């Protein structure tokens, strides 16, 4: 168990690693969670693939394969140069910018002096024309026509302004869609990373969805395997006392049984000695059973010693196996956790650098708000001009303004200058947006073909992405990553130890069976007490041999006893024969513990309080013929007084068998007479518990089951490791990586690139309408200027 402390340290490090993962996920959520809607990003399983069906796909055809052999700024410019739409916008921007700058000369004083000089040469012609015009103005029909022409001109300009404002609104709608697409793309990427780092899903049962399987889950699985192994190791260590030079606790029960049997032997011998020395009686069956225990104890202790040696060998084998597993597990766990920790540390530094360097959340918010404000500011003048034109038309129709009132036309030069500027600015932004959308569309086309394995780039060769694209259902990890650990667990082979333990178990079963067969006819007669046959003071004094033999075959119970080949008289039959022999032809009789005899004058009742000096007994004794009979009868009566004392006095101590029983007990408690209770259950008492139940408990079932539990626990741990590795392999296969790339491509192409393309089209259209407005306002302003001079 030398590596146990190191494993504990590594387990604590994993907790720090999980906290580190959660901290990184929190930082990412704080930075990028802003881009996620309240319900999160939900990517449909069946991607509609709007990008491949769009009419704008003609914009993304200017790329060539050689552009990607060495991708740099020149390659990007080559793609844009081949695109006719970008180049058309660029050429138009250059030409118009030059024209616009030249038209600024029209607003100078020099241009006005030039117009006046021209006017002096043609003043007569204009004077005639003016006179003609004045005469025409007198004509009502001509006046109406001019008014109608002016109104239609202003309506046309108002229509162009409405279209311009409509395009501006379309731009803002497309801008919001593009912004939402960018937000969704950022959110999807950050959410995927967060889901990979930490557990974000509620796991139901043992099944884990691949999208929910995270690095934190992997670390937790690894920790659970190590903790489960630690629990098994500590449990086996406690059960086998692997690190301690003490007996295995599994054998404590055996040691206790043998200690109890020894205590029982000593207790029976001591109490029987008291019974023999002080009461001149003995336990014939109980002492025989006590002697039979010698074989059980001697043979059992010998087998137990061998079993102890076997378990000591098992301790060493288990200790060696655990040390090997600790070494392999510690090295595997530490190596992989260090790799994960290094990767996480590097990723954390990269994320923090990106966040602090680019400030994505702040910059995106700032740029989107700035673009919207600029667009709104640029749309305010067209809106004001539109309002002015509508009012001018209204007053013109109403008649409040005559055909000769052209004060509003003085502002057309300003309007023209503004729309020219607006055309340049919007077209410049539109070209940038169009270029970005074309490059984005190109990447989408390339990505789609790469994901379909239709294209292959050298930069992707021998990479994880290339492997997964070609083997989408293949695992990223090998199932053999824990082979060494699993093989080491198989090294803990307990087959030989189990075989030897089963042999010891059979030895003990044979020993118990022999003991039961030898004591089967006697175990229920432990309560039998008879007269002590040897060195008995009272028996030795009896001269009549038949009387002596009858005493030795008489128990202390009233009824006769028969067990095996032995027949014992009870006290009733004994005194029936004794009275017939001693008091034949008289009314005298001896009784044993019979209270009715106390009320009869010619009968003497023997009990534990009786004495041969009792006058009633002396009167009966004196009727005997000779002194030998009298003395023999005295000895018989003395022995039966002791029989009564054995039946009534508390002479047996069992405190060494049961510490709670400090008081002495009587014969009926020490060895109660066995009979069947209702329901067929036998009565139990302390001697039976030690003699029968403890011997029955001498088996190796617990030891055998312990080895079975060891194998079962290791098999369970091995199955757990294999299951978790299979789950790891299943949930970290290439399909997840490819699926994430498909999701990102779908969001990027359908929500960002496509909307950006529409946005760029809106900007180019806006600039075209702005160009027409520039031209119209410039034309009408020049016309007005020429007309007024």
441 plus 546 within the same structural domain: no
Q: By mean pLDDT, which of 313-327, 330-344, 479-493, 764-778 is the weakest?
A: 479-493
65 plus 171 within the same structural domain: yes
Measured CA to CA in angstroms, residue 639 lies from 375, 449, 542, 607, 633 at distances of 131, 117, 11, 11, 10
User: What span, in angstroms and rounded, lies between the C-alpha atoms of 212 and 198?
Assistant: 9
535 plus 426 within the same structural domain: no
Using the 3D structure, point to which of 652, 674, 691 is the last residue of a domain.
Answer: 652
Buried b (16+ CB within 10 A) or exposed e, 459-481: eeeeeebbbbbeebeebbeeeee
- Residue 332 is predicted with a pLDDT of 76
> Is 388 within a domain?
yes
| CB of 583 closer than 8 Å to CB of 604 | no
Average pLDDT over residues 550-579: 89
| Block residue for tokens 């690190």 | 243
Percent of the chain with pLDDT over 90: 21
* H helix runs in 542-626, sequence order: 545-552, 571-582, 595-598, 615-621
> Is 26 within a domain?
no
Average pLDDT over residues 707-726: 77
Average pLDDT over residues 208-222: 75
Mean pLDDT of the chain: 79
- Residue 684 is predicted with a pLDDT of 59
Query: Has residue 659 got a pLDDT over 90?
Result: no
466 plus 532 within the same structural domain: no
Q: By mean pLDDT, which of 96-110, 221-235, 511-525 is the weakest?
A: 511-525
Which one is predicted more confidently, 21 or 532? 532
- Residue 679 is predicted with a pLDDT of 42
Buried b (16+ CB within 10 A) or exposed e, 759-772: bbbbbbbbbbbbbb
549 plus 632 within the same structural domain: yes
pLDDT tens digits, 310-368: 777 777 777 777 777 777 777 777 777 777 788 788 888 888 888 787 777 788 788 88
Nearest CA among 709, 697, 698, 695 for reference residue 240: 709
> Is 224 within a domain?
no
| CB of 129 closer than 8 Å to CB of 786 | no
The DSSP-derived string for 95-161 is HHHHHHHHHGGGGSHHHHHHHHHHHHHTHHHHHHHHHHHHHHHTSHHHHHHHHHHHHHHHHHHHHHH
- Residue 88 is predicted with a pLDDT of 93
User: What span, in angstroms and rounded, lies between the C-alpha atoms of 30 and 570?
Assistant: 99
- Residue 254 is predicted with a pLDDT of 75
pLDDT tens digits, 546-559: 999 999 999 999 99
| CB of 22 closer than 8 Å to CB of 198 | yes
> Is 387 within a domain?
yes
621 plus 768 within the same structural domain: no
- Token reading at 333: 């766990």
- Residue 765 is predicted with a pLDDT of 92
Range of the domain at 642: 528-652
Using the 3D structure, point to which of 601, 625, 652 is the last residue of a domain.
Answer: 652
Using the 3D structure, point to which of 636, 652, 668 is the last residue of a domain.
Answer: 652
Query: Has residue 658 got a pLDDT over 70?
Result: yes
Report for 253-262, 432-441, 557-566, 747-756: range of highest mean pLDDT? 432-441
Query: Has residue 203 got a pLDDT over 60?
Result: no
> Is 576 within a domain?
yes
pLDDT band at 451 (very low <50, low <70, confident <90, very high): confident
Average pLDDT over residues 783-789: 70
Nearest CA among 248, 262, 322, 269 for reference residue 294: 262
| CB of 446 closer than 8 Å to CB of 460 | no
pLDDT band at 644 (very low <50, low <70, confident <90, very high): very high
| CB of 395 closer than 8 Å to CB of 147 | no
Average pLDDT over residues 414-436: 92
96 plus 185 within the same structural domain: yes
> Is 148 within a domain?
yes
453 plus 543 within the same structural domain: no
645 plus 536 within the same structural domain: yes
**Angle, nearest 10°, between helix axes 360-398 and 4-32?**
10
549 plus 425 within the same structural domain: no
pLDDT band at 202 (very low <50, low <70, confident <90, very high): low
452 plus 547 within the same structural domain: no
- Residue 677 is predicted with a pLDDT of 47
162 plus 72 within the same structural domain: yes
- Residue 93 is predicted with a pLDDT of 94
Average pLDDT over residues 94-112: 83
From the number of C-beta atoms within 10 Å of its C-beta (0-12, 13-18, 19+), residue 508 rates as buried
Query: Has residue 680 got a pLDDT over 60?
Result: no
Query: Has residue 5 got a pLDDT over 50?
Result: no
Query: Has residue 681 got a pLDDT over 50?
Result: no
| CB of 638 closer than 8 Å to CB of 644 | no
pLDDT band at 91 (very low <50, low <70, confident <90, very high): very high
- Residue 494 is predicted with a pLDDT of 66
Angle at 521 between CA 551 and CA 272, to 5 degrees: 50
Percent of the chain with pLDDT over 70: 81
- Residue 3 is predicted with a pLDDT of 47
Average pLDDT over residues 590-608: 91
Query: Has residue 570 got a pLDDT over 60?
Result: yes
Average pLDDT over residues 279-303: 83
pLDDT band at 1 (very low <50, low <70, confident <90, very high): very low
> Is 582 within a domain?
yes
- Residue 199 is predicted with a pLDDT of 76
Average pLDDT over residues 290-305: 78
pLDDT band at 638 (very low <50, low <70, confident <90, very high): very high
Average pLDDT over residues 648-659: 90
| CB of 80 closer than 8 Å to CB of 435 | yes
- Residue 519 is predicted with a pLDDT of 67
Which one is predicted more confidently, 658 or 399? 658
pLDDT band at 772 (very low <50, low <70, confident <90, very high): very high
Task: Please count the structural domains in the chain.
Answer: 2
Q: By mean pLDDT, which of 158-167, 388-397, 475-484 is the weakest?
A: 475-484
> Is 334 within a domain?
no
- Token reading at 89: 């916008």
pLDDT band at 565 (very low <50, low <70, confident <90, very high): confident
């Amino acid at each position: 168990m030398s590596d146990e402390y190191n494993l504990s340290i590594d387990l604590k490090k994993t907790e720090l690693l999980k906290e580190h993962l959660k901290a990184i996920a929190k930082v990412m959520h704080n930075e990028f969670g802003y881009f996620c809607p309240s319900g999160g990003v939900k990517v449909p399983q069946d991607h509609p693939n709007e990008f491949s069906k769009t009419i704008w796909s003609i914009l993304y055809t200017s790329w060539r394969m050689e552009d990607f052999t060495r991708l740099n700024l020149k390659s990007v410019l080559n793609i844009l140069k081949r695109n006719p739409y970008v180049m058309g916008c660029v050429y138009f921007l250059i030409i118009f910018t030059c024209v616009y700058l030249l038209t600024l000369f029209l607003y100078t004083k020099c241009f006005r002096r030039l117009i006046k000089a021209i006017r002096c040469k043609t003043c007569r012609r204009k004077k005639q024309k003016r006179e003609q015009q004045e005469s025409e103005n007198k004509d009502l029909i001509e006046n109406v026509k001019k008014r109608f022409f002016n109104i239609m001109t202003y309506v046309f300009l108002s229509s162009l302004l409405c279209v311009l404002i409509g395009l501006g609104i379309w731009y803002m709608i497309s801008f919001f869609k593009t912004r939402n697409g960018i937000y969704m793309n950022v959110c999807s990427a950050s959410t995927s990373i967060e889901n990979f780092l930490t557990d974000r899903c509620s796991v139901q049962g043992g099944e884990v969805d691949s999208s929910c399987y995270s690095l934190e889950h992997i670390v937790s699985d690894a920790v659970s395997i190590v903790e489960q192994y630690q629990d098994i190791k500590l449990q086996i260590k406690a059960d086998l006392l692997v690190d301690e030079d003490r007996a295995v606790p599994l054998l404590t029960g055996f040691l206790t049984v043998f200690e109890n049997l020894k205590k029982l032997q000593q207790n029976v011998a001591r109490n029987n000695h008291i019974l023999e020395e002080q009461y001149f009686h003995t336990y014939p069956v109980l002492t025989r059973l006590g002697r039979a225990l010698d074989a059980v104890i001697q043979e059992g202790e010998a087998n137990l010693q061998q079993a102890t040696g076997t378990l000591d060998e098992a301790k060493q084998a288990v200790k060696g196996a655990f040390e090997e597993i600790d070494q392999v597990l510690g090295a595997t766990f530490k190596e992989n956790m260090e790799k994960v920790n290094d990767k996480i540390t590097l990723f954390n530094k990269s994320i923090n650098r990106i966040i602090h360097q680019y400030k994505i959340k702040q910059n995106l918010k700032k740029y989107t708000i700035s673009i919207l404000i600029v667009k709104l500011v640029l749309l305010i003048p067209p809106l004001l001009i539109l309002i002015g034109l509508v009012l001018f038309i209204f007053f013109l129709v109403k008649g409040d303004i005559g055909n000769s009132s052209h004060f509003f036309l003085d502002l057309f030069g300003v309007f023209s200058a503004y729309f020219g500027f607006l055309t340049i600015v919007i077209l410049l932004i539109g070209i940038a947006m169009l270029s970005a959308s074309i490059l984005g569309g190109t990447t989408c086309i390339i990505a789609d073909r790469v994901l379909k394995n239709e294209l292959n780039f050298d930069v992707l060769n021998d990479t994880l992405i290339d492997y997964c694209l070609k083997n989408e259902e293949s695992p990223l990890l090998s199932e053999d990553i824990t082979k060494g650990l699993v093989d080491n667990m198989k090294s803990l082979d307990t087959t030989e130890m189990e075989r030897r333990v089963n042999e010891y178990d059979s030895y003990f079963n044979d020993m118990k069976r022999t003991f039961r067969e030898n004591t089967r006819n006697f175990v229920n007669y432990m309560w039998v007490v008879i007269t002590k046959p040897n060195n008995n003071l009272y028996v030795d004094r009896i001269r009549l041999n038949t009387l002596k033999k009858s005493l030795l075959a008489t128990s202390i119970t009233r009824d006769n006893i028969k067990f095996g080949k032995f027949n014992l008289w009870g006290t009733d039959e004994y005194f029936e024969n004794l009275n017939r022999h001693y008091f034949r032809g008289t009314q005298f009789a001896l009784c044993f513990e019979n209270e009715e005899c106390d009320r009869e004058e010619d009968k003497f009742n023997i009990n534990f309080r009786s004495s041969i000096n009792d006058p009633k007994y002396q009167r009966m004794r004196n009727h005997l013929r000779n002194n030998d009979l009298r003395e023999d009868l005295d000895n018989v009566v003395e022995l039966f007084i002791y029989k009564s004392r054995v039946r009534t006095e508390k002479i047996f101590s069992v405190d060494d068998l049961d510490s709670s029983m400090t008081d002495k007990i009587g014969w009926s408690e020490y060895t109660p007479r066995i009979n069947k209770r209702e329901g067929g259950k036998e009565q139990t008492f302390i001697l039976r518990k030690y003699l029968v139940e403890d011997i029955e408990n001498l088996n190796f079932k617990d030891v055998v089951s312990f080895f079975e539990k060891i194998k079962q626990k290791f098999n369970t741990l091995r199955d757990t490791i294999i299951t978790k590795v299979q789950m790891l392999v299943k949930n970290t296969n290439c399909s997840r990586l490819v699926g994430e790339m498909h999701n990102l491509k779908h969001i990027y192409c359908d929500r960002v690139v496509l909307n950006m393309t529409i946005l760029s089209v809106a900007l180019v259209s806006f600039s075209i309408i702005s160009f027409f407005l520039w031209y119209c306002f410039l034309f009408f302003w020049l016309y007005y200027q020429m007309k007024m001079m």
